[in-house]
Amino acid sequence: MANPLRGQVIKLYKTLLYLGREYPQGAAYFRGRLKSAFMKNKDVEDPEKIQKLVARGDFVIKELEALYFLRKYRAMKKRKDQSIQHKCLSSNDAV
């Protein structure tokens, strides 16, 4: 049980759980998927395979961060464009 990689895996799980709080479909949805993904591989014993799975987890972390950033960036940009459009429209009315 005392696998030297145990700490790494738990840390990965915690980080993903933390990131999942902002997931668009809700934290509960993300948590369910996360748990099943980890449970699916619970019997993996080969250290090399575990390393590979942890690396995949790290990749998912990066993807999630990028997703959140893009979502925010798009929302900000949309608002800016909307306000410009609004200004143009109201200036047209004045003419």
Partner 1 sequence: MSGRVLVGVKRVIDYAVKIRVKPDNSSVVTDGVKHSMNPFCEIAVEEAVKMKEKKFIKEVVVVSCGPQQAQETIRTALAMGADRGIHVDVTGKDYDNLGPLQVSKIMAALAKKEEAQLVILGKQAIDDDCNQTGQMTAALLDWPQGTFASEVTLEGDKMKVVREIDGGLETIKINTPAVITADLRLNTPRYATLPNIMKAKKKKIDKVKPADLGVDITSRLEVLRVDEPPHREAGVKLETVADLVDKLKEAGTI
Q: Which residues bind partner 1 (CB under 8 A)?
A: 14-15, 18-19, 65, 68-69, 71-73, 75-77, 79-80, 83
Which of 40, 76 has the CB closer to partner 1? 76
53 closest CA partner among 2, 18, 1, 3:
3
Which of 35, 80 has the CB closer to partner 1? 80
In the complex, minimum distance from the CB of residue 75 to partner 1, in angstroms, rounded to a whole number: 5
Cα 21 to Cα 2, 17, 18, 27, 30, distances in angstroms: 29, 7, 6, 5, 8
In the complex, minimum distance from the CB of residue 59 to partner 1, in angstroms, rounded to a whole number: 15
**Whole-angstrom Cα distance, residue 27 to residue 36?**
14
Which of 49, 77 has the CB closer to partner 1? 77
